[in-house]
Chains A and B, each alone.
Chain A
Amino acid sequence: MENILEFLSLHREAIFIVVLSIFLGIEVISHVPSILHTPLMSGANAISGVIIIGGIILVGHASTTFEWVLGIVALFLAMLNVAGGFVVTDRMLEMFKKKKK
């Protein structure tokens, strides 16, 4: 219980961001036609690669072997997610470009 209260007071600003982002996400997404659902899922998946910032911080300050090894693994996987995610989305969306009649 203490943990939870401590968490709530320690992360006030972050919790504000979370709550508002939830509504933002709902608002932004609810207007997407189903024609774009797959690319959108893919695009959103690429954005979830923001974990790469955590990876950069980790490897950037790594000192023990454990941190080095797992940090590099995490950073590599995150970069796969970012690069692959955006490129695959781009390939999908490339096909939606306007056709001249």
Chain B
Amino acid sequence: MDTLTNIIPANVILEYSYLIAAIMFVYGLKLQSHPDNARRGNQWAAAGMILPMITTLLLHKNQAGSGISMVNGAVVIVTMLVGGIVGTIMARKVKMTAMPQMVSFFNATGGAASATVALIEFSKNPDQAVLVGLLGIIIGSIAFSGSMIAFGKLDGKVGDIFASFMTYVNLVFMATIVGITLFILLGGLSLEIRTILVYSLLIVSLIYGVSFVMPIGGADMPVVISLLNSFSGIAASMAGFIYHNEAMILGGILVGSAGTILTIQMCRAMNRSLLNVIIGSFGGGGMAHSSEAGIVKEISMSDAAVLLSYSAKVVIVPGYGLAVAKAQHLCHDLEKMLEEKGVEVKYAIHPVAGRMPGHMNVLLAEADVPYSKLLEMDDINPELPNTDVIVIIGANDVVNPASEDDPSSPIYGMPIIKAREAKNIIVMKRGMGKGYAAIENMLFFNDKTRMLFGDAKVTLQALVTEVKSL
């Protein structure tokens, strides 16, 4: 390294390493757009992260021109080792069903890191409270506290608060944040007042993150996590501005815009606007609950087994219930067994089934279901009228016909898997509880519908045994 830095200045090497890192991020993300390359793409991005970490440690010089000392460097390495080991263990140990929470948690730590970095930079140069630093603090804090609440909600530790006044409370918080920011930037304030204001900004932003996510119902949590993910990217790039660091700026903004696009796609899948998701406290009653629903009909295990085994075409609609019951392997067993009997089996994947888009794909892939069998909503819907049996396992809102029939329903207009068009409908469900959006589902009262009550794993196990014995 020493001989090299004699020819080319260290900062030039450093900056080119950032360029290479940025290219690796972009290339990595690009590869992640196809299932065959996705894993390699993630590895590229990871390598793209390690490179600037090493070069920064070796080559970075502060404004005074001094590099990172041995002591400081040692602390950096130890801290990273500890963080790396803890992070890896957490990521390895987490169960498949808890992955969305995990993503939300890691997003929170990233946001917190960005806010902290911006805060320290402010304390170093309190005279230059620049916009980017303040934005880093604001956005990073919101990403942190919001993601922690989303994490808690998905983990079942935090309940929902549905209150229409929360919209106004949030508007007040937002106005306060903008007000304090402008005040700091424009007013010729003394150092003490400025410091107090920056810390108030931090606190208000943290509270805003909580109150922003609190009233949003569980059904919309994927959208929120995706949105907060783009927030933490933007926060990182704001910190990048402070250091004039191209890798941070580009990586952060890349995540910011990618996260935003993903968020918009998810909203579109639910036929709602982003604003509607954020303001329209989803799933909180306020709609006409029809009590004249009708009669629910159950089916015996052996009847279900016969019905399935002698069908020509079966479509399985997985939902969160399948993930909770960890029944994906049994589901695959059932599918294989039916295929052996000459039944054509496919999976219908709703874009927002489960707790995150793609949740079901990940889950079924874990059970070795080939992804050619997984069909997206728009591809499977035209096939449903000539489907003999549609089996709904732990899904609810994504097959709810209220989205087509009932204009007063909160999910009216959301595209669904048109389960009721199939010739027979079998619904596996724990009980008559409502789905995550807390809306009555008329499908369960349909004439063609038969219910199999019980935990998805137990029910599937019994069904597999039954089919096997036929």
Residues of A within 8 A of B (CB): 1, 3-4, 7, 11, 14, 17-18, 21-26, 28-62, 66-68, 70-99, 101
Contacts and interface: CB of A to CB of B under 8 A. Distances in A.
Contacts of B199: none
Given A50-B49, A51-B252, 9 more contacts: A18-B253, A21-B250, A28-B26, A39-B42, A40-B262, A42-B106, A54-B240, A59-B72, A87-B88
A39 B247 contact: no
A29 B107 CA distance: 19
Nearest to B140: A51
B242 A54 contact: yes
B91 interface: yes
Interface string B117-131: 101110110000011
B289 interface: no
Interface of B: 25-26, 28-30, 32-36, 38-39, 41-43, 45-46, 49, 52-53, 56-57, 60, 62, 66, 68-69, 72-73, 75-76, 79-80, 82-88, 90-92, 94, 99-100, 102-103, 105-107, 109-110, 112-114, 116-117, 119-121, 123-124, 130-132, 185-186, 225-226, 229, 232-233, 235-237, 239-262, 265-266, 269, 349, 351, 356-359, 361-362, 365-366, 368, 370-371, 374, 376
B414 to A, nearest CB: 15
Given A50-B240, A89-B42, A94-B39, A45 B62 contact: no
**What 10 A-B pairs are tightest by C-beta distance, nearest first?**
A79-B83, A25-B257, A83-B87, A84-B87, A60-B68, A87-B91, A38-B358, A37-B357, A81-B110, A74-B116
B438 to A, nearest CB: 24
A91 B92 contact: yes
16 contacts: A22-B257, A25-B254, A28-B254, A41-B356, A43-B42, A46-B46, A49-B110, A60-B69, A66-B123, A77-B116, A85-B110, A90-B39, A93-B38, A93-B42, A96-B371, A97-B39
Given A81-B110, A99-B368, A61 B248 contact: no
Given A34-B357, A35-B371, A96-B38, A82 B33 contact: no
